[in-house]
Amino acid sequence: MTKRRVVVTGMGVVAPTGNDVPTFWDNLVAGRGAAGPITRFDTEGFSSKIACEVKNFEPEKYVDAKALKRMDIFVQYALVSAIMAMEDAGLGTIPEDLDPTRVGVIVGSGIGGIGVIEEQHSVLLEKGPRRVTPLLIPMLISNMAAGQISIHFNAKGPNSCVVTACATSAHCLGDAFRVIERGDADLVIAGGTEAAITPLGCAGFCIMKAFSTRNDDPEHASRPFDRERDGFVIGEGAGIVILEDFERARKRGADIYGEIVGYGMTADAYHITAPDPDGDGGARAMKMAIAQAGVNPEDVDYINAHGTSTPLNDAAETLAIKNVFGDHAYRLAISSTKSMMGHLLGAAGAAESVAALLTLKHGVIHPTINYEFPDPECDLDYVPNEARSTEVKVAITNSFAFGGQNATLAFKKV
């Protein structure tokens, strides 16, 4: 069977660093971070009081207000991003010459509707079971983002929801790539979404000491690969891309951001939260993606790192990069989008893929901000603090998750 080429023709983002792709990209290139004090709830008693929150989100511009009442915020983020992505692809709706059964949706969420769970649990305790909304289950289940997107666009092709924590949306893009490559669909709306800046969500991360506690200086709390890093900063939002069969995209004159050429997925089989300190799983995911891309490690110009700002992850990822690239690791440009937008959990991989694709398109690598103190264990080129203009022909992006699930995507300039 001949494998079909798969390209990205549209992108949509709702993120702490911008509620559309141009704003998102401008802020990344300028090195503007979004971290600040949590405003969603009273943080009294929380060890960490910092988050990267989405601001000024106006879904009513895209979706009927009545329909929005039936969606948790994580679904709203995804649907709005999907609408923007389809418009960006020059489609808006499924065109008449494309069979809806050939249009898929693969959009995941690591946590799903935790906000509505907390809200309705309080209703249950205070008012009893008869007062719980009948929309509770449809609002909280993680697959409802993919479901609502398919309903909105009448997309009747392959539809699924990956749930692999912080690797969720990278796996969604990889799975969508495979669906088109093998001929099961011609276009797939793919990505991830998350809205877990809630009391319960943050309490859970706080008690396991995953968050930064730099509460007196939130703007500098997310500092991937820096010696003084002390944990990640939670973010929220969605990233959606339109993947399309190359021949179809070419024939309709679509603007192509880049081609997805490789996908690696592995497991650490090591620990429920900590990465393998040797970086073995991440290294194998990168090697797999690069091999499938048909390029040599030396051909990779840029890595959009997982780069969480946690002591263990950043050291393990650096070691994995050295394992894969050898001496070339020191010539690679590497940067962490999370230094500015925080960790979007299940949405991170897709939002970071948007950043990697824009790097291919514009020849600009966004910086890793808050890099002040070099760490002997993290001694590569992390593009510190200022953007860099340079041609990038091949880029990869890494997503590593709790549970030891890893994903790497490889993109190539067309």
pLDDT for residue 305 is more than 80: yes
Q: Which residue ranges make up each domain of the chain?
A: 6-251, 263-412
Q: Name the pTM for this structure.
A: 0.97
- Residue 1 confidence class, pLDDT cut points 50, 70, 90: low
- Tens digit of pLDDT for each residue in 112-170? 999 999 999 999 999 999 999 999 999 999 999 999 999 999 999 999 999 999 999 99
362 a catalytic residue: no
Same CATH topology for 6-251 and 263-412: the answer is yes
Residue type, 80: V
pLDDT value of position 396: 98
Q: 52, 343, 366, 378: which is the annotated catalytic residue?
A: 343
Candidate list 52, 161, 166, 202, residue with the active-site label: 166
CATH topology for 6-251 is Peroxisomal Thiolase; Chain A, domain 1 (3.40.47)
Cα angle 110-119-130, degrees, rounded to a multiple of 5: 120
Q: Distance (Å, rounded) from C-alpha 115 to C-alpha 202?
A: 11
Per-residue confidence at 369, pLDDT binned at 50, 70, 90? very high
- State the first-to-last Cα distance of the chain, in angstroms, to the nearest integer: 23
CA dist., res. 214 & res. 253, Å (int): 49
The rounded distance, in Å, linking the Cα atoms of 285 and 227 is: 26
Q: Is residue 60 pLDDT above 90, yes or no?
A: yes
Which of 152, 171, 206, 306 is flagged as catalytic? 306
Q: Kind and range of the H or E element at 187?
A: strand 187-194
Residue 301: count of CB within 10 angstroms of its CB: 19
* Pairing verdict, β 302-304 and 258-267: unpaired
pLDDT at 337: 98
The reply to whether 220 belongs to the active site is no
Question: Taking 70 as the threshold, does the pLDDT of residue 320 lie above it?
Answer: yes
pLDDT at 414: 94
Task: Establish whether 306 is a catalytic residue.
Answer: yes
Statement: residue 401 has pLDDT above 70 = yes
Q: What is the mean pLDDT of residues 52-78?
A: 97
Please state, in angstroms and as integers, the Cα–Cα distance from residue 58 to each residue in 64, 81, 139, 168, 241, following that order: 11, 12, 19, 25, 20
The third-level CATH classification (topology) of the domain covering 263-412 is: Peroxisomal Thiolase; Chain A, domain 1 (3.40.47)
